[in-house]
Amino acid sequence: MDDQFYMMLAIKEAKQAQSMGEVPVGAVIVDEAKKVIGHGYNAPISTSDPTCHAEITAIRMAAQRRKNYRLPGTTLYVTIEPCIMCMGAIIHSRIKRVVFGASDPKWGAVCSLYRIADDHRLNHTPEVVSGVCEEQTRNLMKHFFTSKRSR
């Protein structure tokens, strides 16, 4: 799989969130045939829904398309390291691989604050790849928060 190609699709999703004034996080889910079966971007503010993270939206779409709450064999591409809530959904949905861009030192639950994917007490441990398009994803976040602070 071309991780950079799919991460660029996730970055497009993140830019959609940014255009709405949301934190620019985007996600896509790709199946074994390399077809995008889910995508999403952060929208908790505009939807008044604290669970409306990019990963959750993409997981919901993929599950609906598969007509199954389990998504084995899939890869989730997300611009920023998933939070605790999103890692819980990733594990429950049995996503095989998680690929993310930049780490999140304030909320990250893959390697920054917590290492949920490494906890073998859980019944599923996804493979994790980090740092794909890291500079681009980090800059999206950096510019977003810099512009917020300057207003």
Q: Which residues are catalytic?
A: 55
Find how far residue 134's CA is from the centre of its chain. Answer: 13
Strands 127-130 and 36-41: what pairing? unpaired
How far apart CA 133 and CA 84 sit, in angstroms, is 22
Yes or no: say if 60 and 37 are a contact pair by the CB < 8 Å rule.
Answer: no
**Cβ neighbours for 86, distance < 8 A, ≥ 6 positions apart:** 53, 55, 56, 78, 109
**Which of 99, 91, 148 shows the shortest CA–CA distance to 125?**
91
How far apart CA 14 and CA 137 sit, in angstroms, is 9
